[in-house]
Structure 1
Amino acid sequence: MMQTSDSYNQKNSLFNAMNRFIGAVNNMDQTVMVPSLLRDVPLEDCEDVTTVANGTASAASNGAAYFHQDGDMYSSYVLLKSIRNDIEWGVLQGEERFKEKVGRTEMSRAEAEEDDLEKQFHFHLSGLHAVLSKLTHKANTLTNRYKEEIGCGN
């Protein structure tokens, strides 16, 4: 029988992936003292995000689309903080946004596919890991870019 402490030490656990993301966003939030300085600063790492997305499940690649649409670092900053808040405080607001974007026909189709719950669980878990990894990378990149913009070294 596996001990509970062993599962928390697993590098690829969902718990650790969420903690890495939340830590990266908290670090970003503490570093970025003047978020308005991020306005109109273009994202330069779009290639990195698409490279990461190429090796993941297609459902997880939706996370990369957010960063291509943003256009500036401020939008990414706000998005990352919003996702962190959804993880920490619940996803009710996030679910409502998702339902608006996907539409009722997509939700009905997802509800109809409940016959293989284990397969769905592993699909979504894999996608969540991929998205959290990309978001963590994005938060770290944004923090470093902010430091460059204000003239601080790493």
Structure 2
Amino acid sequence: MMQISDSYNQKNSLFNAMNRFIDAVKNMDQTVMVPSLLRDVPLEDNGDVKVAKSGDEVIPATANGTAYFHQDADMYSSYILLKSIRHDIEWGVLQGEGRSKERVGVTEVSRVDGEDDDLEKLFHYHLNGLHAVLSKLTHKANLLTTRYKMEIGCRN
């Protein structure tokens, strides 16, 4: 028999966070019948995913050659990015030549090979970060779906 705490923990698992994101993007994709209508429509949510800045220059991180959200992104670029991330989660990401080791905004956690404590810390660091990013991306997909419906005049 499953206890309440087990149910709570399972609800907040990485697997469920990924499924919520994938479902939100699938819903967005099914709702957005004409993606080109999203071009030049600004993102009005102040909770946009930010990118790292170097001095006064904005440096967008990339996934599959697509820029992550930044201050000047429109809904169309966000739509394309969300679909790209969903594809990476479902089908995996390129390794080696297709990807750079460093990502903007990602800090390298140093570890000594062979020390289990460091591997565990590294795992939990990235697990927490991934969970937080998936939650923000799920919110972004739901926001985009709602905004699209508002733009085309759909009430539901």
| TM-score normalised per structure 2 | 0.72
Q: How many residues were matched structurally? A: 135
Q: Name the structure with the higher strand share.
A: 2
C-alpha deviation, 1:11, in angstroms: 1.4
Gap regions ≥5 residues in structure 1: 52-61
Cα separation, partners in 2 of 1:8 and 1:139, compared to 1, 3 Å: same
1:1-154 alignment, distance < 5 Å: 10-45=10-45, 47-49=46-48, 66-69=68-71, 71-92=73-94, 96-99=98-101, 101=103, 114=113, 115=115, 116-154=118-156
Q: Name the structure with the higher helix share.
A: 1
Higher relative contact order (CA 8 A, sep 6+): 1
What is the distance in 1 between the residues matched to 2:152 and 2:111? Answer: 51
Instruction: Calculate the aligned-residue CA RMSD, in Å.
Output: 3.4
Cα separation, partners in 2 of 1:153 and 1:98, compared to 1, 3 Å: farther
What SS does the corresponding residue of 1:48 show, helix, strand or coil?
Answer: coil
Equivalent position of 2:56 in the other structure: none
What is the distance in 2 between the residues matched to 1:95 and 1:127? Answer: 25
Sequence identity percentage: 77
Could you tell me whether the CA contact under 8 Å between 2:49 and 2:70 is conserved in 1?
no
What is the distance in 1 between the residues matched to 2:141 and 2:128? Answer: 20
| TM-score normalised per structure 1 | 0.73
What is the distance in 2 between the residues matched to 1:18 and 1:94? Answer: 24
What is the distance in 2 between the residues matched to 1:120 and 1:132? Answer: 18
